[in-house]
């Protein structure tokens, strides 16, 4: 029998005395635990609690086990969302190998999410997370070959739904993928998702009004839209960067995705190449982030808009300074150099027409409108001056004042 555990540690060492010489389904050990509502698997899978962690044991052909072990390690090295592989046990005297992975804490299968009343209608968020995972894998040259809801675990992390790959036995890693390889993965995902949702429908746990075929087709549409938006080459001229970044973020938001990171890569004299990283989030996520970064209390849509502006400003700072700018530095610089000057510049007689965050949000909208009209970024300061002169005076006072409204004229 041959054990390969990496990285070694006390928890992994505690697994060595498990009954490896017996078929996995016959194990009788006090450390075995049940995971409720776990996903389906074509192999025998059991779970062991050891050293404060839970490990998944999957019994499969030794060649596939070794291959999946290598692929999962590579995915972790690339920083892609996948379960952490702990080891593989082979040469088990006539038995298949066992792949050992660490169970993803606080994660759920799609079946569990659909069965839990708290997530009454998780279809859209699950699709967004799955599509985002598949796009990230494809960008890294990873052809899954078995994309399905069953082969993913979903975890809530600071308000966001994130999808993690848990099965890579049919996967292949290449320098890049062809359209045919990506198309195969997407087509297979469509087929598998439809089948899984039909199973949920038969079990009575699929929300009424959800059509498995429509959802499967929508998965393909979301994938294609996100792939195009994230991979399309776009060179930004230095004078138009903030305007074009805002325009790009608007398009990504319209696809149902939120932007987690904006990166500008120097493209020489022609400008900078725009890269974005998306994240799927639930209501309240942006509000909490904005409060943590800036101390500003905003509604969800306001917070999303301001975070987008901070992201664009961070890209601008990195180009100007010629290097990375920490998130906390970018947020505080934006607060001092962009947000507060606009609020301080509001004419005294118009100061109470809107709350500060809503007012700044409208200035950003006005900047986008003016920039779209002129074909270039007009800048926040110029947009604010024009907004104060032409838009803010038209906001009725009685819509924003507290207390009793004035009586109507007789």
Per-residue pLDDT tens for 349-373? 888 788 888 899 889 989 989 998 8
Whether residue 148 sits in one domain with residue 173: yes
Q: How large a percentage of the chain has pLDDT more than 90?
A: 41
Q: Could you tell me if residue 408 is inside a domain? A: no
Main-chain dihedrals φ then ψ at residue 300, nearest 5 degrees: -60, -50
Whether residue 366 sits in one domain with residue 267: yes
Confidence tier at 257 by pLDDT (50, 70, 90): low
Whether residue 277 sits in one domain with residue 178: no
Q: Could you tell me if residue 410 is inside a domain? A: no
Whether residue 196 sits in one domain with residue 131: yes
Whether residue 346 sits in one domain with residue 249: yes
Q: What CATH number should be reported for the domain holding residue 147?
A: 1.10.510.10
Average pLDDT, the chain: 83
Q: Could you tell me if residue 405 is inside a domain? A: no
Dist CA 316 CA 377 (whole Å):
13
Confidence tier at 343 by pLDDT (50, 70, 90): very high
pLDDT tens, residue by residue, 268-293: 766 777 777 765 555 567 888 899 99
Dist CA 330 CA 219 (whole Å):
35
Whether residue 143 sits in one domain with residue 62: no
C-alpha dihedral, 325 to 327 to 328 to 330, nearest 10°: 60
Whether residue 49 sits in one domain with residue 18: yes
Dihedral sign from CA coordinates of 227, 231, 233, 238: positive
Instruction: Find the mean pLDDT for residues 311-328.
Output: 90
Instruction: Find the mean pLDDT for residues 345-352.
Output: 89
Domain stops at, among 102, 135, 163: 102
Q: What CATH number should be reported for the domain holding residue 94?
A: 3.30.200
Long-range contacts of 369-377 (CB under 8 A, 24+ apart): 371/243, 371/246, 372/247, 376/239, 376/240, 376/243, 377/239, 377/240, 377/241, 377/242, 377/243, 377/244
Dihedral sign from CA coordinates of 192, 195, 200, 201: positive
Q: What is the pLDDT of residue 136?
A: 85
Q: Could you tell me if residue 118 is inside a domain? A: yes
Q: What is the pLDDT of residue 282?
A: 53
Residue 403 reports pLDDT greater than 70? no
Q: Could you tell me if residue 209 is inside a domain? A: yes
Nearest CA to 130 out of 224, 226, 219, 253 is that of 219
Let me know: does 100 contact 136? Beta carbons within 8 Å.
Answer: no
Q: What is the pLDDT of residue 291?
A: 92
Choice among 55-64, 88-97, 108-117, 188-197 with the minimum mean pLDDT: 108-117
CA-to-CA dists, residue 98 to 2, 45, 53, angstroms: 11, 9, 18
Environment class of residue 99 by beta-carbon count within 10 Å: exposed (0-12), middle (13-18) or buried (19+)? buried
How many independent structural domains does the chain possess?
3
Whether residue 115 sits in one domain with residue 8: no
Sorted by sequence, the CB contacts under 8 Å of residue 352 that are 6+ apart come out as 397, 400, 401
What radius of gyration, in Å, describes the C-alpha atoms of the chain?
A: 26
Q: Could you tell me if residue 155 is inside a domain? A: yes
Q: Could you tell me if residue 184 is inside a domain? A: yes
Q: Could you tell me if residue 53 is inside a domain? A: yes
Residue 25 reports pLDDT greater than 60? yes
Confidence tier at 157 by pLDDT (50, 70, 90): very low
Dist CA 302 CA 358 (whole Å):
7
Identify the three-state secondary structure at position 94: coil
Whether residue 389 sits in one domain with residue 368: yes
Q: What is the pLDDT of residue 408?
A: 41
Environment class of residue 346 by beta-carbon count within 10 Å: exposed (0-12), middle (13-18) or buried (19+)? buried
Residue 206 reports pLDDT greater than 60? yes
Residue 172, domain extent: 107-230
Let me know: does 246 contact 309? Beta carbons within 8 Å.
Answer: yes
* Beta strands, E only, 147-294: 152-157, 160-165, 172-173, 235-236, 258-266, 272-281
More confident residue, 136 or 278: 136
- What is the full DSSP assignment across 226-240? HHHHHHS--EE-GGG
Domain stops at, among 36, 70, 102: 102
Q: What is the pLDDT of residue 360?
A: 93
Confidence tier at 297 by pLDDT (50, 70, 90): confident
Q: What is the largest CA-CA distance in the chain?
A: 97
Residue 10 reports pLDDT greater than 70? no
Whether residue 52 sits in one domain with residue 183: no
Whether residue 279 sits in one domain with residue 394: yes
Tokens at residue 93, please? Answer: 């005297």
Domain stops at, among 51, 86, 102: 102
Q: What is the pLDDT of residue 40?
A: 62
């Amino acid at each position: 029998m041959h054990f390969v555990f990496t990285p070694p540690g006390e928890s992994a060492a505690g697994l060595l005395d498990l009954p490896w010489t017996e078929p996995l389904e016959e194990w009788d050990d006090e450390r075995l635990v049940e995971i409720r509502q776990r996903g389906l698997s074509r192999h025998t899978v059991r779970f062991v609690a050891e050293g404060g962690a839970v490990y998944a044991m999957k019994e499969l052909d030794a060649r596939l086990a070794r291959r999946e072990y290598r692929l999962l390690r590579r995915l972790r090295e690339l920083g892609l969302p996948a379960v952490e592989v702990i080891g593989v046990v082979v040469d088990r005297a006539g038995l298949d190998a066992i792949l050992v992975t660490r169970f993803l804490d606080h994660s759920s299968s799609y079946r569990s999410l659909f069965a839990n009343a708290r997530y009454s209608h998780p279809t859209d968020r699950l699709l967004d997370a799955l599509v985002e995972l598949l796009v990230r894998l494809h960008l890294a040259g990873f052809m899954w070959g078995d994309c399905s809801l069953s082969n993913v675990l979903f975890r809530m992390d600071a308000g966001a739904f994130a999808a993690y790959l848990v099965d890579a036995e049919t996967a292949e890693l290449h320098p890049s993928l062809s359209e045919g390889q990506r198309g195969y993965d997407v087509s297979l995902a469509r087929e598998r998702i439809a089948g899984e949702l039909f199973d949920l429908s038969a079990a009575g746990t699929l929300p009424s009004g959800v059509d498995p075929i429509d959802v499967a087709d929508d998965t393909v549409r979301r994938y294609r839209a996100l792939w195009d938006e994230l991979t399309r080459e776009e060179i930004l001229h230095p004078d138009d960067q903030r305007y074009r970044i805002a325009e790009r973020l608007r398009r990504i938001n319209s696809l149902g995705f939120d932007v987690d990171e904006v990166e500008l890569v120097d493209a020489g004299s022609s400008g900078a190449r725009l890269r974005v990283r998306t994240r799927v989030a639930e209501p309240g996520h942006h509000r909490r982030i904005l409060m943590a970064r800036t101390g500003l209390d905003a509604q969800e849509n306001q917070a999303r808009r301001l975070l987008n502006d901070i992201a664009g400003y961070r890209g601008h700072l990195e180009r100007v300074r010629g290097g990375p700018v920490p998130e906390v530095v970018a947020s505080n610089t934006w607060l001092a150099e962009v947000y507060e000057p606009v609020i301080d510049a509001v004419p005294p007689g118009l100061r109470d027409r809107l709350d500060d965050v809503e007012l700044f949000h409208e200035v950003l909208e006005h900047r986008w409108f003016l920039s779209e009209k002129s074909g270039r970024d007009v800048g926040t300061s110029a947009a604010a001056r024009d907004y104060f002169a032409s838009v803010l005076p038209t906001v009725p006072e009685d819509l924003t004042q507290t207390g009793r409204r004035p009586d109507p004229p007789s």
